[in-house]
Amino acid sequence: MKISKVLLVSLLSLGVLVGCNQTTQDSSSNSSSSSISSVSVNSIGQLNTIKDALDYISDPNSSYEVRVDRASQIANYRWIFTPIYSYIAYNSGTDYTYAGFITTPQGIASYSLERSDTSDDVITTGEAILDANGNTVTSLYDNSTVTSLVNLDYSSLDTSSTSLKTSRRVFCESILKLANLPSSTYLNLVDGITLTVANNKLTASFVAKIDGKEVQYTYTFSNFGKAKVDSLEEFYYNGGSSFVPDATLKGVRDLFNQDNYLRTEMLDDNNFAVREYFTKQYYFNEVSDSYLASYPELAAYANRGYVYLSNPDEGIILPGYTEELIYDDVYLFYSTNNTISLVTRNNPNEPGHAQGGFLLKQDDISEVMNYPKNLLLFSNMQKLVYEDGVYKTDDYNIGLDFINNFGITVPDGMTMGWTTLDMKITGDVTSLDCKVEFILNVFNATTNEMLTPYTFSFSNFGTTSYKPIDKFITDNGFELNL
CA–CA gap between residue 56 and residue 54 (Å, rounded): 5
Predicted pLDDT at 93 = 66
Beta bridge partners of 457: 264, 437
Predicted pLDDT at 15 = 27
- Give CA separation, 466 vs 277, 363, 460, 469, in Å: 7, 20, 12, 6
CB contact burial 393-408 (16+ within 10 A = b; e otherwise)? bbbbbbbbbbbebeeb
CA–CA gap between residue 220 and residue 205 (Å, rounded): 9
Predicted pLDDT at 75 = 53
CB 246 within 8 A of CB 423: no
Q: Where are the domains of the chain?
A: 22-244
447: left (phi over 0), alpha (psi -120 to 50) or beta: alpha
Question: Which amino acid does the sequence have at 106?
Answer: Q
The CA angle 335-339-344, to the nearest 5 degrees, is: 65
DSSP 8-state class, residue 461: T
CA–CA gap between residue 266 and residue 456 (Å, rounded): 11
CA–CA gap between residue 224 and residue 402 (Å, rounded): 41
**Nearest residue to 218 (alpha-carbon basis) of 76, 57, 82, 27:** 76
Predicted pLDDT at 37 = 38
Beta strands 64-70 and 213-222, pairing class: antiparallel
CA–CA gap between residue 178 and residue 410 (Å, rounded): 36
User: Could you give the 3-state DSSP secondary structure of residue 114?
Assistant: strand
Predicted pLDDT at 36 = 33
CA–CA gap between residue 301 and residue 295 (Å, rounded): 11
- Give CA separation, 323 vs 296, 309, 327, 351, in Å: 35, 16, 12, 11
Predicted pLDDT at 236 = 95
Q: How many CA atoms lie within 13 A of 296 on its CB side?
A: 1
DSSP 8-state class, residue 326: B
CA–CA gap between residue 277 and residue 283 (Å, rounded): 5
Predicted pLDDT at 482 = 65
DSSP 8-state class, residue 234: H
Predicted pLDDT at 279 = 98
CA–CA gap between residue 416 and residue 440 (Å, rounded): 12
DSSP 8-state class, residue 32: S
CB 43 within 8 A of CB 64: no
Task: For residue 390, count other CB atoms closer than 10 A to its CB.
Answer: 17
Per-residue pLDDT of the chain (482 residues; tens, 9 = 90+): 544 455 544 332 222 222 333 322 333 333 333 333 345 788 888 999 999 999 999 999 999 999 999 887 655 899 999 999 999 998 866 678 899 999 999 999 999 999 877 788 999 999 999 998 989 999 999 998 999 999 999 999 999 999 999 999 999 999 999 999 999 999 999 999 999 999 999 999 999 999 889 999 999 999 999 999 999 999 999 999 999 999 999 999 999 999 999 999 998 888 999 999 999 999 999 999 999 999 999 899 999 999 999 999 899 999 888 899 999 999 999 999 999 999 999 999 999 999 999 999 999 999 999 999 999 999 999 999 999 999 999 999 999 999 999 999 888 888 889 999 999 999 999 988 999 999 999 999 999 999 999 999 999 999 999 999 999 999 999 998 76
Provide CB contacts within 8 A for 421, sequence distance 6+.
377, 392, 393, 394, 398, 399, 402, 438, 439, 440, 441
Long-range CB contacts (< 8 A, 24+ apart) of 382-390?
382/124, 382/125, 382/126, 382/127, 382/243, 382/245, 383/124, 384/249, 384/423, 385/1, 387/1, 389/424, 390/422, 390/423, 390/424, 390/425, 390/439
Predicted pLDDT at 32 = 34
